Amino acid sequence: MAVEYRTLGRTGVQVAPLALGAMNFTVRGEDSVQEPVRIIHQALERGINLIDTADVYGQGGSEEVVGRALKGRRDSVVLATKAGLPMGEAPQRSGSSRRWLVQAVEESLRRLGTDWIDLYQVHRFDPQTAHEETLAALTDLQHAGKIRYFGTSNYQAYRLVEAQHAAHDRGLSGFVSEQANYSLLMRGLERDVLPVAQQYGLGTLIWGPLSGGWLSGAVRAGQPIDTNRARHFPAWFDLDVPVNQRRLDVVEQLAGVAAGAGLTLIELALGFVTAHPGVTAAIIGPRTREHLEAQLAALELRLPDDVLDAVDMIVGPGSDLAPGERYDLPSDLQNPRLRRRP
């Protein structure tokens, strides 16, 4: 089978069902760059054509690595990056104000070694900045040829709707995509963001399809948990926490479904995400070429209905097994002071 490319929203841009995420790539000396560059080249040679990074990854280091890898290959790649999370401690070096976005895009262009960015994404909704301010700045950057399209990341569904209306009312270009967290263990997106994206013709890029390592095959009952994420965030994998034990039980059931279908757990996880008609591509984030090969096995995979039905029996549609890990929760759910009278 050949890779079946998909249209990113209504842009006409064609992308593979898997995209390469560069969050794990950064510059820690010249030797640290070589393996990420090889991974990027290997992914491109296998048919992946969208690379996603962000200015905040390695405080610019990831963009530098991607820029090196794309020398001589830029025209064949859909290059996506993000801005909005803090780039240092200065108060003006974050958010989605015109002041910062105009500066941030120039810094990203320099690090990426390119004249334009295909998809420029607002990394988080900025409650301090009006949609109109952000959209006007991004529209001007688009007209200046700095960016081709712009999108969002981790926006709540109603914020996506607000932004669509703001763009229409002001005669501005609108967001063309949303990047969000979705996996076999985190299906809450099916309740709100995915239907909204489909209604408004937004492309959807999915981060975390392996749920931080839970669906990589490295987290199984009766064996030590040894993943990079577990070393950095041990609380997410602490089996004394009931929600984590529940996730482990579900992973074991899903592993059984995968085995019965002749698949690895990784293939089931990625194939499930890309099966949703509202999903454009799932972003994979391999740290080694071996990880990449294990994930590329899902590039041309299409899960049959009976396998998807079996998944629904284990994890109900719209269910989040770790709701606290959603990054689009309203601020008043995260900050008690915002939901209590003074």
- Cβ(254)–Cβ(217) below 8 Å: no
Question: Does the annotation count 57 as an active-site position?
Answer: yes
Helix axes of 98-112 and 131-143: crossing angle, nearest 10 degrees: 40
- Cβ(77)–Cβ(51) below 8 Å: yes
**Residue 221: Cβ within 10 Å count:** 11
Q: What is the rounded CA–CA span in Å between residue 234 and residue 238?
A: 6
Among 231, 230, 264, CA closest to 244 = 230
CA atoms within 13 A on the CB side of 79: 28
- Cβ(274)–Cβ(5) below 8 Å: no
User: Quick one: tokens of 7?
Assistant: 């249209």
Rg (CA), the chain: 20
> Of the residues 5, 57, 158, 327, which is catalytic?
57
Neighbouring residues of 29: CB distance < 8 A, sequence distance ≥ 6: none
- Residue 290, H or E segment: helix 289-296
- Cβ(201)–Cβ(9) below 8 Å: yes
Annotated catalytic residues are: 57
